[in-house]
A and B are shown apart, each in its own frame.
Chain A
Amino acid sequence: MAVYLEGTIVRQEKLSPDIRLMEIRCPEVAESAQPGQFVTVRVNKLHQPLLRRPFGVAGADRAAGTFSLMYRIVGETTELMDDMEAGEPISVVGPLGHGFHLGAKRGLLVGGGMGLAPLHFLAQADPDHKMEVIVGGRTKAEVFWADLFKDKTAKQYETTDDGSYGVKGTVNAVLPGLLATGQYDCVYVCGPSPMMKAVVEVVDQYGVPCQVSLEKYMGCGLGACLSCSCEGKGGRRMKICKDGPVFWSQEVVEW
């Protein structure tokens, strides 16, 4: 069940020049959120910005009653979020949507950019921290991701588009080599659509089950506005916010 409450910002952390982590005290969300689910936030009571904005839950501390979001400062809401300080209230609706199917014995996380945020929660929630992760970034400014995953995954592999850190190229520069070892029973993917499509094409060649977390502009996050609706396998209409955001890769037709 989702709640509609006011949380309190506990802290903000600068992860990179334009990426922040916001920890929010909201026990109802912290207790029930599953990796892959998201919340929508509203930063003021004005009409600007009007709509809530969705963020994948990036971590939760059930004992402390807090959860965290990671965001890149790209627009009005995230600019206002960056101006907020510990102690300030923030309106939260969530947790929303369907998260990742858990239970893989040896999972491989493949993330690009902010898509690594929900995967971070998934890695954190794995009690044995034995998953492995491919961290895909543009430049070495995003090297902080590998640090975030260090104590939550067994191995980290890094790629950057410009080769300034890790292997030069996209995540697919290292993915086939890893899959060829045959040791993974599920691949979890989250990132920009073209990257996810390219990853799924590779994963399919190795016959490993694959889950993807999709993203499309959302108006409500509740399944009402149909902004994020897309076509699924067999012509089925899927609402990314309600039926997803996590889908098995075979269900996805529209990237």
Chain B
Amino acid sequence: MVKPYEDPRMQVDLAGVTMKTPVTTASGTFGFGLEFTDFLNLDHIGAITVKGTTLKPRPGNKGQRLVETPAGVLNCVGLENPGVEFFLKETLPHLRQVTKTPVIVNIDGDSAEDYGTLAELLDVDGVDAIELNISCPNVAQGGLAFGTDCHAAGEVVKAAKPRTHKPVITKLSPNVTDITEIARAVEAAGTDAISLINTLVGMKIDIQKKRPVLGNIVGGLSGPAVHPVAVRMVYQVAQAVKVPLIGMGGISCWQDAVEFILAGATAVAVGTCSFTDPSLAETISQGIQDYLDASGAASLEELRGQALPGRN
């Protein structure tokens, strides 16, 4: 029995990044990958998408940052990270000693120019792709403001794209009326791939204290609760653009991942459920491979988008 990560049928090409399996990790739920080496083999996952990185170190938000909600989690971490310089000097070399798996670096800026600068700084060996986070709901500047406006989203892509040789992935927010408009705008601006969805803005109130639970009042909802929303959006975006998609949002098992592939995603990302099941990004591949065997399809590529209109 060939292992999923050695099975050529499981391999996918994401805008030039060759992934051994279609599974990567959602930024912010997998640290820098090194936090999970006790629980899985990083070489056996398709790609590692690391924690959002900014030009300067960020301490993140004050107060309570995370709370569990029905089948989900609300967070307002606020992009705490040690900054791009630390990432390049310390984290990336360490990660590269441990694994050859492609590394996707999620970047965040306060301005379009920041994204350009970050893309250039990260145009180095060891980094395989850049993911533009234009959808963080937990920061005062930038973040979600870029992801909810077609023009602003396109400007971020245009600022980053010419300053890197790496494929550029743009991560979309679900907090919009029509996600296909934003998807078309970032495709027109030159993004090589699209990842979706980031978290849905939500809130929880402590009924004893009569106050919002989170320090930032609102936070981003993730986890199994958001999966159907994410599947719907991948299904819509797959029909609106030609660039490859990474489907994410609430994956807790291989079946959830297969739904994204049938909805048109080339790859998928495991997010919040890595907290609960820290080997999920590796083990989920087995179920996907078994499904592939049972389906009789020659490869994942053949399965991709089979749920889309006109495909059945």
Contact = CB atoms under 8 A, between A and B. Distances in A.
A50 B73 contact: yes
A109 B275 CA distance: 32
A217 to B, nearest CB: 6
14 contacts: A2-B38, A4-B278, A42-B276, A47-B252, A50-B276, A51-B73, A93-B39, A224-B274, A226-B51, A227-B66, A227-B75, A227-B77, A237-B57, A237-B59
Contacts of B68: 49-51
Interface stretch (B13-21, B27-35, B180-188, B291-299): B27-35
Nearest to B58: A237
Contacts of B310: none
B67 interface: yes
A48 interface: yes
Contacts of B36: 222, 224
Given A4-B39, A231-B59, A226 B65 contact: yes
Contacts of B247: none
A48 B66 contact: no
A212 to B, nearest CB: 20
A63 interface: no
B60 A229 contact: yes
Interface string B169-193: 0000000000000000000000000
Nearest to B31: A224
A51 B225 CA distance: 13
Is chain A's binding surface mostly helix, strand, loop or mixed? loop
A150 interface: no
Interface in A31-86: 42, 47-52
A243 B80 CA distance: 16
Contacts of A93: 39, 278
Interface in B76-103: 77, 80, 82
A220 interface: yes
A222 B278 contact: yes
A114 to B, nearest CB: 19
A219 interface: yes
Interface string B38-77: 1100000000000100000101100011111011110101
B224 interface: yes
A51 B275 contact: yes
Given A52-B275, A222-B278, A217 B64 contact: yes
A52 B66 contact: no
B77 A217 contact: no
A228 B101 CA distance: 28
B279 interface: yes
Contacts of B38: 1-4
Contacts of B80: 226, 229, 237
Given A2-B39, A217-B64, A227-B65, 19 more contacts: A3-B38, A47-B223, A47-B224, A48-B70, A50-B72, A52-B275, A93-B39, A217-B65, A219-B73, A219-B75, A222-B278, A224-B274, A224-B275, A225-B275, A226-B60, A227-B75, A227-B77, A229-B77, A237-B59
Interface in A83-109: 93
Contacts of A219: 66, 73, 75, 275
A48 B36 CA distance: 23
Contacts of B274: 220, 224
Contacts of B66: 217, 219, 225, 227
A253 to B, nearest CB: 12
Interface string B243-275: 000000000100000000000000000001111
A33 to B, nearest CB: 14
A223 interface: yes
A242 interface: yes
A52 B31 CA distance: 17
Given A3-B38, A224-B35, A50 B71 contact: yes
B82 A237 contact: yes
Interface string A114-147: 0000000000000000000000000000000000
Nearest to B223: A50
Contacts of A3: 38
B180 to A, nearest CB: 29
Contact of A224 (B29, B72, B279): B29
A93 B275 CA distance: 10
6 pairs of A and B residues whose beta carbons are closest in the complex: A227-B66, A224-B31, A220-B275, A47-B71, A2-B38, A47-B224
A39 to B, nearest CB: 13
A25 B26 CA distance: 33
